[in-house]
Each structure stands twice: as structure tokens, then as C-alpha cells.
Structure 1
Amino acid sequence: MSPAEVPLRRVCPRCGGPHGKPRLAVPQGSPFADVDFSVTHSGDVVGVAVARGANVGLDVEESGSGAALDVDTVAPVALTDAEIAALNARPPAERVSAFLRMWTRKEAVLKALGVGLTVPLRRLEVTVPPLPPKVLSWPDGRNAPRALAMADVEVVTGARHLRATATVAATGTTALRLHHHDGTATLTAHTTSTPPP
């Protein structure tokens, strides 16, 4: 079906308002009732994660997006004190990429939980690269899932070989099996063959 026909609903898990994570609006008996997805973009990189039987979150940051990033200004807003100390212990040339990796880890988890940035990033602590992705402390024990799987992804996509840092997280599972597909050709075909609205 065309993208405009995909049935979606948005319900906030906190207040019930129409501004929560987009989900498929299908009946309970539908073969797609257990499908969850997460959409993200940064610069010219678009990511879509789809999962069955788990709530999924994906975040991506195009590598060039960190070029002008002032880590000293943004780190105190997004990182815990322990994460900032670990970041500051790294060589200056590695700090932007390490920050972006921690950022994508946090955002992926919050998207999987369906809470987005309503939870302050400073209250969610994750491992610092090169350690494998893992949540070390939760901002609110009520939101902590019983099962969580995470994976870091390095993305090189498209004819221009865009590079991006991404992390996928899924609640309700302890293992991820990732299948990476470059959708550049599909997006290009759709945008060049579809007349503007």
C-alpha cells in the first residue's frame, strides 16, 4: 500500500493524548498486531526499524552532523556525571563520535519505551563506547523493561556513501537479529515517480 494508506495511531503512554509513538492501527487479530516500528533521520540518512513481538526504538546520527557539535555545551544536558567523566577522559578527537554513540543509545531506549524525550537523558545512564551497549541505570524503575536488547550499527548507505552512527533497542526480548537493508533505491524511485501533493 502507499505510505499515506498505512493505518497509524499515536497515543501517549502517560496521558493518553494523541502525541505518543506512532504505531500500526490494526485490529487485535491482525497478522500485523505484534509489529512495532521506529523511524528516525539525521541529515540525509533515514532509518526504519521493524520488529515482531517487541517494542523497538532506533536512533541515527549522520557522522557529519557532529562536525559543529560543541560537546562541552551539550554533554551536561544529555549525559550523567559518570558519562561526562568517561567522555572527558577520551582524546579530544574521539569525543564527538563517543558522544553521538551514547546519544543514539539513550534515544533508542527511550523510543523503544515509547516515552521519547519526556524522560531527561541525564537520568538514563548507558555504557560508554567501546563497551557493548547496555543500560546501567534507569530514570524511573516503573519504566524499566524486564527484557531489553540493544545493538550499535555503523551505517554506510547510498551512492554518496553517507556514514552514520545508529543504535537499535528492543524491549520484550533479550536478543536482536538484525537485517540491514539499504533503501536508497526504493526511496529514490518513490520520490522521483510520485507527483508532489
Structure 2
Amino acid sequence: MMLVAGKPFLTVDETDVWFESLQAEEAEYRQYWSWLSESERQTAQRFVRELHRRRYAVCHGKVRLLLGHYLGIAPQAVCFGRQTLGKPFLLDASGGPHALRFNLSHSGDWMLLAAGPRELGVDIEVWDPRHDPESLAGEILAPNELEYWLTLSPAERAAAFYRFWTRKESLAKAVGSGIGIGVASIETTPGSLAKFLGLPKDCGKPSDWHLIDLDFGAGISGAMSRRRRLQSTVTESA
């Protein structure tokens, strides 16, 4: 069996964040494919492009590998359920919800998986030149965020846009509502200090959530939202 290699990109309290490539050699790809459920294989087969099919198989194979590592079971034995709006969760041996929470995001050749004991959500976005922040900012940003964003130079706006976007998406995924929550109603601090300032009423208070920006280097943005606890210890792999 393939073993988990390396360490999490980030650990916050009891929550691990894994930043993984979706590129794989043929032997690795076949191994990941062998771990998929029949439903996952059917989903993969529906992709028209081979690139997207391979990314899906590697992504979900790695999810099974990593979650199986936490659960102490084989990747193919990991079982999932889904909430009403589609957010997946782990099932325990009795078929009920498992205490371990997780969330997955992927973009381009990269995936992000967080796992821990508290409700959480993650988002990763590879900057896409087909997306025009100038035309999307008014729909996605809260008024104060937009005011700040308009003060930035054109060269600074892409990074700020994706920073705001991944923060909002991570919260929407944490509560299991997706972008239907109305991302413009989620307000965060401008600049690099990540904190929620305002949330839709169904999401609780801003102080209920710990927001973390994830730095993957130029051209990739990410964020994690997780239920807050009183003290946090953060470590990052070298």
C-alpha cells in the first residue's frame, strides 16, 4: 500500500492542512484509481478531457489515502456521506457521522485538504487569466472591501481579489452552503490581517471563526476557515 509521504503544509491546533500536487506518474495514477468507489469512477469517466479525469482520480485517491491514514483504515475502506446541500462528511464503522471533519478544494494541478475535529472549510485558487477581477469585484466584494480594493494599483488588485475570494469561499464551504450564501455579505479585513468583520446571520458571529490566509507563492491563493477555540498553536513545515 502507498504510504503518506511528507508532512502537512500547516498544522493549527489539531487541524492539518495538506497542499498536494495532482500530477502523478502512471503507476501512481493507477493506484489512486484502484482506491476509488464505483460512484467516483463513474464521475471520473464523465470528464471529456483526459487531463481532468486524471486530476479527479488523483485528487480523490489522495483524499482517501490521507483520511485513511487518520482513521487507520485502507484508502478504499473510507466511506462518505453528504449533507443536504452536498458537503461531504466521513462515516464511521456504524454508518453514522465520524468526529473527524474534513474539507477539500482543488484548482489546476493542486489540491488542498484540511482535516481536524472542528467544522472547517478550505479554498484554493490558481489565478486564471480568463477571470477578470475588474468585472467580478462588484459582485463578490463587500462595500468596504471594494472601497479598499479600488485604492490599489492594477498590479496589486489580482492578489487582493483572490485573497478576498478564497477567504469567502472557505467560510461558505465550512458552513456547507456554497456560494449561494451570498459572498458579498461576508466581509473580511483588508490587507494581510485575516479576520471576519461581518457574516450572514446563518453563519454565526465573526468571532466564532478563525480565518487563515494560506501562502503558496505567486499565482496561487488559499484560505481556511475553522470554528475557533481559545488558544491556537501554528506550525508550518519547512
With the length of structure 1 as denominator, give the TM-score of the two structures: 0.73
Unaligned runs of 5+ in 1: 13-18, 157-161, 183-197
Higher helix share: 2
Aligned residues: 165
Aligned counterpart for 1:84 among listed residues 146, 167, 188: 146
Residue of structure 2 in register with 1:72 after alignment: 134
Aligned to 2:91: 25
Q: How does 1:106-145 map to 2 (within 5 A)?
A: 106-130=168-192, 132-139=193-200, 141-144=201-204
Residue 7 in structure 1 maps to residue 68 in structure 2: no
Q: Say if 1:60 and 1:104, in contact at 8 Å, map to a contact too.
A: yes
CA distance in 2, matches of 1:150, 1:121: 15
Q: Do the aligned partners of 1:110 and 1:117 also contact (CA within 8 Å) in 2?
A: yes
Query: Aligned partners of 1:109 and 1:70: how far apart in 2?
Result: 22
Q: Specify the SS of the correspondent of 2:171.
A: helix
SS in 2 for 1:165: strand
Quote how far apart the aligned CAs of 1:110 are: 1.2
Unaligned stretches of 5+ in structure 2? 1-72
Amino acid at match of 1:44: D
> Could you tell me how far 1:33 is from its partner in structure 2?
2.8
Q: Secondary structure at the match of 1:90?
A: coil
Q: Kindly indicate whether the alpha-carbon contact (under 8 Å) linking 1:41 and 1:47 is maintained by their aligned counterparts in 2.
A: yes
Residues 28 and 22 of structure 1, relative CA distance in 2, 3 Å threshold: same
Q: Provide the rounded CA distance (Å) in 2 between the counterparts of 1:175 and 1:61.
A: 29
Q: Distance in 2 between matches of 1:4 and 1:178?
A: 31
Tell me by how many angstroms 1:83 deviates: 1.1
Equivalent position to 1:170, from 220, 226, 231: 226
- Pick closer, same or farther for the CA change 1:73–1:4 going to 2, 3 Å: farther
Residues 89 and 98, structure 2, Cα contact 8 Å, conserved in 1: no
Q: Percent identity?
A: 26
Query: Aligned to 2:212, which of 148, 151, 170?
Result: 151
Q: What is the root-mean-square deviation of aligned Cα atoms in Å?
A: 2.7
Counterpart-to-counterpart distance in 1, 2:109 and 2:83:
28
Structure 2 match to 1:37: 102
Q: In the TM superposition, what is the alpha-carbon distance from 1:173 to its structure 2 partner? A: 2.8
CA shift at 1:107, angstroms? Answer: 0.7
DSSP 3-state at the match of 1:149: strand
